[in-house]
Structure 1
Amino acid sequence: MLTAMTRYRESVQSLLHQRVLDAAHDLVTAKGWGGLRMTHIAAAAGVSRQTLYTEFGSKEQVGEALVMREVEGFLLGVQERLDAHQDDEGLAVEVAVRFTLESAADNPLLKSVLTSARGGGDLLAHLTTRSGPLLEIATAMLKGWAAEAWPHIDEDSLDLGAETIVRLTVSHIVQPVAPADVTAARLARILVRIGLLRDR
């Protein structure tokens, strides 16, 4: 009985968590992050301020959770594209990076965050100066997938390649310098060279 009750409470908490993030997502895409207050999020989610603070602690933590939820959605799409091209390292990375860049460009939340006129403000930091959690989860996913799919690539190259591709992809999301297909092809070449070249 206790186990069933625990599962029920966890389920309710998860639903509350998602409802709050859904409300925050809608508010940010409509009005930006800068002027958003916890009272606004609580009202939109239909919960009390105390409940909101108990669940997240601060606006900063809501922002981090919001960004990480978007990242997790991206990573599912990335893995699908990697799976479809396991036999070609360069093409797999190119397709995955292109998907990420194009999806980011079309993502309403990221558009709001990256457009200063809409008040991205502190939320942008989760893609830049406070991007540690994002980089960690994305790098771990890419390295873990690559280690299974491409066992012929040594571990040092996997470490370097995964971190490099993730950091450069995030950089190009924040400040694109070329069309997505061009950037994706360039980053794929970097990974292939890291995997093929040996230290002298």
Structure 2
Amino acid sequence: MTTESGWSGVTMAALAERVGVSRQTVYNELGSKEGLAEAVILRELARFLSVVEAAFDAHPDVLVDAIRAATYGVLELAQDNKLLHAVVSATHGADTELLPLLTTHSQSLLEVAKAVVTERVTPYDLGLPTDRLEVAIDVVVRVVLSHVMQPSGPPAETADGIAWLAGLALRGA
């Protein structure tokens, strides 16, 4: 609905009608339009994180290769994601309501993403103290999200650069 008519065109009543339930059911499930926004963002995040998990599964022995594949997959998915483009390109009025959930108020998004990446990185024997590993994961997740929001080059090139940088940090351990 957001890609069709913008976030301002999405109402709880219209959503209820679209999915065939009562408006009260939607409110009971989501609480408010802000709750709906968070649910939409977290659903999209789950799609992106499934790409991350698949990349780590495909590269169980070389962390830098897993980082490269995960970054590439995320950036490829972002490139063609109509909802993400609708949110990022909204520049006026109520259509900017979703943008803070991806940027300035993105704490839950960051926490979920970092938790998944931490879980996937932990099996690699890095010899890094926990506090340093947390810093490295935080930086990589934030850089990837930054490129999702505002790409600066083709996904493959960006993924190579992020993997190179991660490899330097990991070798510096």
TM-score (norm 1): 0.79
SS at match of 2:9: coil
Unmatched runs of 5 consecutive residues or more in structure 2:
none
Which of structures 1 and 2 has the larger relative contact order (alpha carbons within 8 angstroms, sep 6+)? 2
Q: What is the Cα-based RMSD across aligned positions, in Å?
A: 1.8
Matched, 1:82 2:56: yes
What's the counterpart of residue 109 of structure 1? 83
Aligned-residue identity in percent: 36
Q: Answer yes or no: is the 8 Å Cα contact 2:68–2:159 preserved in 1.
A: yes
Matched, 1:48 2:22: yes
Structure 2 Cα separation of the partners of residues 93 and 144 of structure 1: 13
| Greater C-alpha radius of gyration | 1
Unmatched runs of 5 consecutive residues or more in structure 1:
1-26
TM-score (norm 2): 0.90
Deviations 1:21-79 (A, max 9, x none): xxxxxx11211112322222122122222221111111011011111011112111211
SS at match of 2:60: coil
What's the counterpart of residue 186 of structure 1? 161
What's the counterpart of residue 34 of structure 1? 8
How many positions carry a matched residue from both structures?
171
Q: Answer yes or no: is the 8 Å Cα contact 2:71–2:159 preserved in 1.
A: yes
SS at match of 2:7: coil
Kindly report structure 1 stretches of 4+ aligned residues shifted beyond 4 Å: 117-120
Residue in structure 1 matching 2:152, options 162, 165, 177: 177
